[in-house]
Amino acid sequence: MMAEPPLQETERLDLAEFGRMLRERRGTLSIRQAAVDAGVSFSTFSRVEAGAHPDLATFTRLCSWLRVPAARFFNPVTERRMTPLDEAVTHLRTDPRLTPEAASTLTSVLTDMYNTLARDLPQPRTAIACHLRAASVMRPGVPHRLASLLTDMRDELERQVEAGEL
């Protein structure tokens, strides 16, 4: 089993904050007047102010009208875990010096090498738990010896399964 890869951060548009700031900036202006001032249609301004997702051109116009950078409305959100191989492949595919064919070839070679050379990390040993009604009346040390015996039995069963004997 491979080690847990680091989290990849992506960003989401905070539409609630965007709408709130549009309403605040609009103040006493009508939606029609604010839309004209911002350079967008009335219906678009109204939808975005209510929380709809704007297109990129509308988003940048409205950010300009609000006089705030677009980055103000992006919040990091954890999406998925990136493996080191994923990161390397991403870098290769986005390298402007590589043609798509060259990037694909390098990615394929790197993936093959990684899969051949990467080793699985040892699995953490799971504890064997056994509830015995009589444990409270057993002689001292018996439960521990029993746990050791059960662990040995499990190890032998795992060995037999891996060897194809079971």
Task: Name the pLDDT band for 141 (thresholds 50, 70, 90).
Answer: confident
Superfamily of structural domain 8-79:
lambda repressor-like DNA-binding domains (1.10.260.40)
Residues 6+ apart with CB under 8 A from 76: 9, 10, 11
DSSP 147: H
Residues 6+ apart with CB under 8 A from 124: none
pTM of the predicted model as reported, rounded to 2 decimal places: 0.43
Lowest mean pLDDT among 10-14, 72-76, 126-130, 154-158: 126-130
User: What is the rounded CA–CA span in Å between residue 146 and residue 134?
Assistant: 13
Delimit the domains of the chain by residue range: 8-79, 83-117, 127-166
The 8-class DSSP code of residue 80 comes to E
pLDDT at 1: 44
Phi-psi category of residue 161: left, alpha or beta, with phi > 0 → left and psi -120 to 50 → alpha: alpha
pLDDT score, position 94: 83
Comparison of pLDDT for 8 and 21, the residue scoring more = 21
| 23-46 tens-digit pLDDT | 999 999 999 999 999 999 999 999
Name the pLDDT band for 162 (thresholds 50, 70, 90). confident
**3-class DSSP assignment, residue 76:** strand
Least confident of 94-108, 111-125, 126-140: 126-140
Average pLDDT over residues 133-157: 75
Q: How confident is the model at residue 92 (pLDDT cuts 50, 70, 90)?
A: confident
What confidence category does residue 2 fall into, taking pLDDT thresholds of 50, 70 and 90? very low
Report for 24-38, 66-80, 115-129: range of highest mean pLDDT: 24-38
* Structure confidence at residue 48 (pLDDT): 94
